Amino acid sequence: MIVRVVFVVLVLGLIGAATFMSINGVWGDSSAVISTRNGSPGGGYGIGGRGVK
């Protein structure tokens, strides 16, 4: 029984995390966009980037 509960929790957690990341647009920035803001640390795009600063 506990295995089933754990599996359901994992599935719900996976869907929940995916929904959260989708709504927040994680890794959704287009490529080849140049952040031109002066002083923008490390640009703004690419893996781990957090958009236009």
Partner 1 sequence: MNEAADQTHSLNCTQCGAGLDVLGGGRVKTHICSYCGAELDAQDDYKVIQQFRDMKRPDTPFDLGMTGQLWGVEFTIIGTMAWTEYYEDKRWTWVDHQVYSPTHGYGWLTVDKGYVTYTRKTREIPSPPFISNSTIEHNESRPLVKFQGETFQYFSSGTASPTFIEGEFNYRPSLDDSVRYVELMGSSRMLDIVQSGREREYEVTELPDQAALLSSFGVATNRRPRQKGTHPLENLVRSSLQLFTRNVALIGAAVAVVLGIGLSAKGEQIARSGQTAVSSEITLPFEVTDDTGLTEITIEANANNSWAWFETELTDAEDEPVAAFERGIEYYSGSDWKEGSRKARTRLTLPTGTYTLYLSMTEAKVDWTGGRLATNMSVTVRQGVAQVMWVFGAATFLGLIGFLFLGQRFLHHQSRWSGSDWSDD
Min dist CB 38 to partner 1, Å, is: 7
| Interacting residue ranges for partner 1, rule: CB under 8 A | 3-4, 7-8, 11-12, 14-15, 17-19, 21-30, 32-38, 44, 50-52
Min dist CB 41 to partner 1, Å, is: 14
Q: How many CA atoms lie within 13 A of 17 on its CB side?
A: 6
Min dist CB 8 to partner 1, Å, is: 6
Q: Counting every residue, how long is the chain?
A: 53
Is residue 27 within 8 A of residue 49, CB to CB? The reply is no
